[in-house]
Amino acid sequence: MTTPSEPASAQTSPSLTSPGQTSPAETSPRAVAIIARKELVESLRDGRFRALAVSVLALLIAGLVAGSLETRQARQAIDSARAADHDTWVGQGPRNPHSAAHFGHYAFKPRPVLSALDRGVDAYLGRVVWLEAHWQDPFSLRPAEDRTALQRFGDLSAAFTLQVLAPLLVIFLGFAAFAGERERGTLRQLVSLGLEARTLALGKALGLGAALALVLVPAAILGVAVAVVTGGGAAASSWVDAALLVVVYSVYFAILLGLVLAVSASAKSARGALVVLLGFWMLSTLIVPRLVADAAEKRYPIPTPRAFYSAIAEDEARGMGDLGSRAERRQKLEQQVLAEHGVETLEALPVNFAGLSLQASEEHSNLVYDKHYGELWRLYLGQERAHLWGAALSPMLAVRALSMAVAGTDVARHRHFARAAESHRRELVKFLNDDMTYNAGDAAFGYLADEGLWRASPTFEYQPPGLGQVLGRQLPALAWLALWLVIALAVAVRAVGRLQPLPGVSS
């Protein structure tokens, strides 16, 4: 799953091999292969590495299987809830269309197939939204609310294991790669054989990458398989998405391997290398994400529910812009409608005024919601961008953003669905108001529509965004990841170039 080909292409390029050198110091593929093999064998013989590798693989498999089962179950539950909701809607009996609009119906957020691999922020966002007249509701029933405080420790999903735990595997695998050999004095001997440091580094990178691949390749294959199994019929695009995730995580591990080798090559002792790397791990997985969340919260403060909904109520009552208060708006509408139809009284109108008035108030509310929810989404998405600032210190944050986005469990996907659901709500409410306007006659709220109307009402079919659109939004995260890869390779090459074979001397 790692991409050791990166250093390979850099190292075998002729410009890096000193010309005219005929000693065995030349970077020969043979020497690289011998070193890589020795590193692999050594890693596999190391009981601690074996234990750690088996644990990580076991956690990954458990996470994938549990995630797949849970996701399938959730998808089925959503399907049956949708069907039941439709039945209830159709079977609500004769009713005034506006009363039906109040009864409304529910939109159920679909669970993307790849949420089996990465739950993202899914647990902290509601699963359903009530689509009713007058009100744009927030999403409710957040899965996290039904979980205990244990959730605060993390969830052992495949994504968590890959982002947080697997880096430790890379660290334990490689921290002693150079520092350990130097302490044992073997590095001195290797270098005295006429081996170039670069050859050594390339061999080590390949060997350690291979050891890592023994854990990550099975996990990757299983991950793709899980995507197919979980998705059932909808597997076609999940394949591509899952493969893309494999690439993202491969780059992540290549970055980590580069950093680990760089630190090991430049640290004074193996212990020092381990301390530095563990410090980096702690910073990038535990501390920076929290600090960045705080900073994002300060930069884009989310209003309290009280402030948010009272601002909406205020705009509703006063009216947006210069539209005037509720009573004024109603009076204006009345005059306008009477003028349009050239009649004197509401009773003389060929249409039902209550329906028109409801729709007008609905459209005014939509302006209010566009303003406030638009602002709320601006803040959420601002926070999402702010979290990427942390990627400067923690490549994990870039990987997390990409992983969530591709899995379809990020904030942007939620907004995409929320917008679709809201425009459906508006369409549905307008459909019901129009029915009242044109069919209620004088009966107004006494008018009852029947099943025919419920069946004819617009249905909600959600189309998730394509991969291109998803990645288009993730260009900053992709850029961070690419930058980290370049940095990791550069520091690795630099540190190896200055490799100091004698113990007790820092380079």
Partner 1 sequence: MILTVMRHEWRLMRRSPVSWWAAGLLLAATAYALAGGLAWQQERADEAVAIAETGASMLAEQRASAAEDGGAVSQARTYAALPPGPLAAFSVGLADLLPKHAEISIWRRPDTLFGRYQLESPLSLLAGRFDLGFVVLYLLPLFILALSYDLLAAEREGGRLSLVLTQPLSLPGLLAAKLLARLVLLTAFLAVVAAAAALAGAVPALAWPRLIGWLAVAWLYGALWLAVCALVAAFARRSETCAATLAAIWLIAVLVIPGLLEAAVGTLRPVPSRLEYVTAMRAASSEASQASSELLAQYYHEHPELAANGEQGGFLPAYYASERDVERRLEPLLADFEQRLVSQQAWVERWRFASPAVLAQEALIELAGSSQRRHRQFQHDARAFLADWHAEMSPRIFLGQQLAPADYDGLPSFGFSEPAVSRQHFAGTVAGLTLPALLALVVAYRRLDRFEVAS
Cα dihedral across residues 208, 210, 213, 214: positive or negative: negative
Interface with partner 1 includes 271 (CB under 8 A)? yes
CB burial string 65-85: b at 16+ within 10 A, e below: eebbebbbebbeebeeebeeb
8 Å CB contact between 369 and 136: yes
Which one of 291, 311, 349, 491 is in contact with partner 1 (CB under 8 A)?
Answer: 291
Binding residue for partner 1, selected from 4, 110, 120, 209, defined by CB under 8 A: 120
The span from the CA of 295 to the CA of 300, in Å, is: 8
What character string, x for contact with partner 1 (CB under 8 A) and - otherwise, covers 365-394? -----------x--xx--xx--x-------
Which parts of 350-369 interact with partner 1 (CB under 8 A)?
A: none
Exactly one of 14, 15, 30, 152 binds partner 1 (CB under 8 A); which one? 152
Q: Does 52 bind partner 1 (CB under 8 A)?
A: yes
Candidates 28-36, 146-154, 185-193, 362-370: pick the segment binding partner 1 (CB under 8 A): 146-154
Six-digit token pair at 50? Answer: 């074996």
Q: C-beta of 14: minimal distance to partner 1 in Å?
A: 40
Rounded CA-CA distance 84/301 in Å is 38
b/e 12-48 (16+ beta carbons within 10 angstroms → b): eeeeebeeeeeeebebeeebbeebbeebbeebeebee
Q: Which C-beta is closer to partner 1: that of 26 or that of 183?
A: 183
Residue 351 tokens read as: 């249409």
Question: Which amino acid appears at position 374 of this protein?
Answer: G
Stretch that binds partner 1, among 161-169, 231-239, 242-250, 321-329 (CB under 8 A): 161-169
Dihedrals phi, psi of 128, to nearest 5 degrees = -135, 155
Which of 36, 222, 246, 296 forms a contact with partner 1 (CB under 8 A)?
Answer: 296
Alpha-carbon dihedral angle through residues 341, 345, 350, 356, given to the nearest 10 degrees:
80
Residues 6 or more apart whose CB falls under 8 angstroms from that of 231 comprise: 113, 238
Supply the minimum distance, in Å, between the C-beta of residue 146 and partner 1.
4
Token pair recorded at residue 381: 């998405």
DSSP 459: -
Q: Cα–Cα distance between 192 and 462 in angstroms, integer?
A: 66
Residues 65-84 that bind partner 1 (CB under 8 A): 66, 70, 77-78, 80-81, 84
Q: Which amino acid is at 252?
A: Y
- Piece in contact with partner 1 (CB under 8 A), picked from 93-101, 237-245, 359-367, 466-474: 93-101
Binding mask 212-251 for partner 1 (x = CB under 8 A): ----------------------------------------
Strands 105-108, 128-131: pairing is antiparallel
Label residue 365 exposed, middle or buried (CB < 10 Å: 0-12, 13-18, 19+). buried
Q: Nearest distance from residue 50's CB to partner 1, in Å? A: 13
46 near partner 1, rule: CB under 8 A: no
Longest Cα–Cα distance of the chain, Å, equals 106
Which of 38, 184, 290, 498 forms a contact with partner 1 (CB under 8 A)? 290
Cβ–Cβ < 8 Å for 490, 7: no
Write the interaction track for partner 1 spanning residues 400-419; mark x where CB under 8 A is met and - where it is not: -----------x--x-----
Binding mask 177-216 for partner 1 (x = CB under 8 A): ----------------------------------------
Find the shortest distance in angstroms from Cβ 127 to partner 1.
Answer: 7
- Applying CB under 8 A, does 91 fall inside the site for partner 1? yes
- Choosing from 147, 184, 332, 494, the residue that interacts with partner 1 (CB under 8 A) is 147
Q: At its nearest, how many Å lie between partner 1 and the CB of residue 63?
A: 8
Q: Which of residues 302-331 bind partner 1 (CB under 8 A)?
A: 302-306, 308-310
